Structure 1
Amino acid sequence: SMWIVNVGDIKPMEYPLSFFLAMAWNPEAMTPDALAAYPQAWAEATFGAEHASAIGEMITAYSKYAARRKPELIEQDSFPLGGITPEGLDGGEFGAM
């Protein structure tokens, strides 16, 4: 079998592409614990151990926040949803950044 991946401009896609290829190479190894550890492991391999923990945490937070609301799906009438404000959707996490 051959996998062909079109990533376009590779520089901004380094982390997602690395994740995809790691999962494609050995899907059984991607346990919940391995998934949680992947951002820090990738950061350590890419940037070194000194800042790996902080970078891994940033990647995890960014990925979570980016997946919540995709800009192309937001319209002017997207909020409020039953009285929930945009600030209420994240439990205050965005404000903590």
Structure 2
Amino acid sequence: MAVYKVTLVFALFCVVLQAQRPFYAGKRPIGYPEIESNVEANQFGENGNLPIEANGDWNLIKRLSELPEDKQPFWFLNWKQYDDLRKNPQTYPLRPNNFANNN
């Protein structure tokens, strides 16, 4: 009888663990997706300075750099300035809150 109780407890334990994640969500944990490494995209290293708008497509950057300057998109012409702005955004000081500082 004790073997049945242990088996039942173990089976319930397994069912509870499997119920935490649906079968169609896959076996991998939730987080960053698994991405295949692209040899062409990795030619400048993992930390290559690439604009966000290009979505990691080095071929797009090559094609856009071959276009005349008046035909290139605005984000491509100013992507270094955009990068600097994203790394060091302009911040404003907060005004004191009159309602929260009533001690």
Q: TM-score, normalised by structure 2?
A: 0.25
Structure in which a larger fraction of residues adopt helix: 1
Larger RCO, structures 1/2 (Cα 8 Å, 6+ apart):
2
Larger radius of gyration: 2
